[in-house]
């Protein structure tokens, strides 16, 4: 009976860990999507060599989505990927709060230059990967 219980418990634990990895990747992708879509579609600039998106909100305030891997203290950095600590940080008004600390890598691929980008988030534990494609106009620098 104890063997059956232990086996069932291990299966349940493994399943819930995989589910947590999926949730981590999904929440980060949704947050990236939300922040990019907050920007005026006519004003988005993609700095490909740095993996940084810059745009303007409805109040014409500059916003950043910084997926470079370096720590950013720029004002109005809506989301920042800090690779040395596997963190996704929210830096709006220099708050610098950790949203998630289980992200190993974020890969950005241009599918249609200037129109369609794919974001892939890979979790630190379990090497789970999730992708999302966003269609929006941007200027590449």
Closest CA to 118 of 103, 128, 106: 106
- Asked whether the whole model's pTM tops 0.75, one would answer yes
Closest CA to 65 of 94, 86, 45, 49: 45
Per-domain residue ranges of the chain: 2-140
pLDDT for the residue 4: 72
Residues 41 and 56: their CA atoms lie apart, in Å, by 9
Residues 11 and 87: their CA atoms lie apart, in Å, by 28
First CA to last CA distance, the chain: 63
Q: Over pLDDT 70: what percentage of the chain?
A: 96
Length of the chain: 141
pLDDT less than 50: residues of the chain = none
pLDDT for the residue 91: 76
């Amino acid at each position: 009976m104890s063997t059956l219980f232990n086996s069932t418990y291990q299966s349940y634990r493994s399943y819930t860990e995989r589910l947590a990895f999926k949730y981590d990747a999904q929440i980060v992708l949704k947050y990236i999507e939300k922040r990019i879509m907050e920007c005026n579609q006519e004003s988005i600039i993609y700095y490909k060599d740095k993996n940084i998106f810059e745009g303007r909100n409805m109040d014409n305030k500059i916003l950043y989505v910084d997926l470079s891997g370096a720590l950013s203290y720029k004002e109005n950095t809506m989301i920042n990927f800090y690779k040395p600590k596997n963190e996704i940080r929210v830096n709006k008004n220099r708050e610098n709060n950790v949203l998630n600390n289980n992200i190993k890598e974020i890969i950005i691929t241009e599918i249609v230059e200037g129109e369609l980008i794919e974001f892939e988030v890979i979790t630190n534990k379990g090497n789970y990967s999730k992708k999302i494609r966003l269609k929006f106009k941007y200027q590449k620098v």
